[in-house]
Structure formats: structure tokens, C-alpha cells
Structure 1
Amino acid sequence: MFDDLKRKITTILDQKETSTDLRLQQVCELLRNTVPHYDWVGFYFKNGNKNELKLGPYAGQPTEHTIIPFGKGICGQVAISNENFVVPDVKAQDNYIACSLTVKSEIVVPLFLKGENIGQIDIDSNTLNAFSHEDERFLEFVNREVAKTLH
């Protein structure tokens, strides 16, 4: 499944005549509609010079968490750690920000541009322990491809 998705993502991101936001939106929708355990897919980006993340394109239920301070929640922790964060059970996390009562697990993978963490892809699942190493590697690929379109 992921190999086919990689080709589709590359095709979407290679559409230079389409705005970056629209391409990222298409990637979010493709992932949410194709991967059964991806119930919410979105990008957060560093908000200018502020120590906070701002919600970018996403697919799924609307969220009130459009601004997340660095250090707060899983996304805010990844903004500081620069490392992937896989949460098998969100109820077991002290510093978790609930976007929806149905979310049971989450994965956040940082997005680097020229060595700087400029954002991340955030995926929520309504399934416990939904994410594998394969998901991590795949989302790292997605972020590398996204970074190429942002440079």
C-alpha cells in the first residue's frame, strides 16, 4: 500500500502549477482516504519567529487546536525534540491535547528544511496502537518530499 501511495504523493507534489497549500491538502486527503487507520491528517508549521505551531492543510474533523505552543501536547513536544513521536495510547500521555474523544493513538513526524524543523505531519487514529515502524518510515518519506516542494 505505501509504495503505491509514495508514487501518488510524488505526483501530487510535482504539480508545480498548483499552490503548495492545495498540494498539501491533496496529500492529507489522499492519506486519510486511503490508509484505514489515518482518521485525521494534518500539517503544522512553525508560526514565523514565534515558539508555536500553526495549523496548515488538514483532512478530517475540524480542530480548535490551530495554534500549539512549543512543548505543549505531542506536536509541541516534537517541535522541541526534533524526533518522531508515536503514541500507542493517548490516554497514557500526560501532555496530550485531545482533538477528539474518538482519538486513541497518534503519530507526529517532524518536517525538516535545510536541517531546520519547520513543521510536522500529525496523524490521529481512532484505533489503539495503530502506528508501526512502517508508518514512521512512510511519513518520513512524505515529509522529505514535502520539503522538496518548500525549498
Structure 2
Amino acid sequence: MSFNSLQLKVTSALNNTTATAKKRMHEVCVLLENEIEYYNWVGFYFANHEQRTLHLETYVGEETDHTVIPFGKGICGQVAESNSNFVVPDVKAQDNYIACSITVKAEIVIPIFKDGKNIGQIDIDSNTPDPFTKEDERFLEWVCEQVAKIL
């Protein structure tokens, strides 16, 4: 499925005002994981700035023990501090990587900004080596902008 077609489905899921924000974000996780072959784990983490931790809100994919991640630790923790996208073509090449599964080969993390503040992120793992393109990055930035609107 093209990212343009998927935008319509994401918009529809996020506009379902009868569901909670968490349920709408979960629906986005389901859509992305189902529709994009190389998205094998999709989740949203949100920041607790006072504790300097990220907390897993919702996800689709293999179970994870990483429900709380300190700022600076792993790819997600680094994005919490850098406020920048982080695309990892090969997780084995990263020193500061938190392994969730031996099948994960690549990861992309895009921050979510609300009123100029990094409040969380979308985290996607792939079992395919180096699958993420600039199109993935732009699409996921758009997803994060849309999610910020419902929070």
C-alpha cells in the first residue's frame, strides 16, 4: 500500500472521536504493522520529563520488557534527548541499542512534538535489514504530527 493511501486510513482512525486517544493510537499501530510489510513492531512511547523516562503507551508486535526507557538509553532514549529522527539501518552496528528481539535488524524512531516540546515518539522495528527510506521518515513525521493533534 502506498503512503498516500495509508494517510487516509490513519486520518480516519485518528478522527474517530468515539474512541480514546490511546485506542486511536493503537489503531494506527495496527494499520502500520499490517499494511507495511517491513514494519514488524510499532509502538508509541511518551515522555515523563520530570523522571527523564519514556513510557510505552501502546504497541503492536512481539511482547517487550522495555515499557520504561531512561532518556539517553537505546535509540528511543537518544531521540528523547536529541529531539531528532533516528534511523538505524543495522541495529548491530549501534553501541547504545536495547535489543528487544534477535529478529530485529533495523529501527526508526521519530519524535512527537506538541507546542514545540518533544512529548513522545513512534518507534518501529523491522526484521528486514536497512528497509527505511526518506519516504518512511516523511510519512512517520506526518503520522506524529497527526497524533499530536489528538493529544
Task: Report what 2:86 is aligned to.
Answer: 85
Distance 2:44 2:50 in 1: 18
What per-residue deviation string (whole Å, max 9, x for no partner) do you get for residues 81-120 of structure 1?
0000000000000000001000000000000000000000
**% identical aligned pairs:** 60
- Counterpart Cα distance in 1 of 2:78 and 2:48: 15
Tell me the amino acid that sits aligned with residue 12 of structure 1. Answer: A
Q: Please identify runs of 4+ aligned residues in structure 1 that moved more than 3 A.
A: none
TM-score normalised according to structure 1 size: 0.98
Shift of 1:146: 0.2
Residues in 1 aligned to 2:34 and 2:122: alpha-carbon distance in whole angstroms: 16
Uncovered stretches (5+) of structure 2, i.e. residues with no partner: none
Q: Equivalences for 1:1-150 in 2 at 5 Å?
A: 1-47=2-48, 49-150=50-151
Unaligned runs of 5+ in 1: none
What SS does structure 1 have at the residue aligned with 2:137? helix
- Counterpart CA distance in 1 for 2:74 and 2:60 is 20
- State the alpha-carbon separation in 2 of the partners of residues 114 and 84 from structure 1: 18
Give, in angstroms, the shift of residue 47 of structure 1: 2.6
1:48 Cα deviation after fit: 5.7
**Number of aligned residue pairs:** 150
Q: What whole-Å deviation, never above 9, does each CA across 1:59-85 have from its counterpart, x for those lacking one?
A: 001100000000000000000000000
Q: CA deviation at 1:17?
A: 1.4
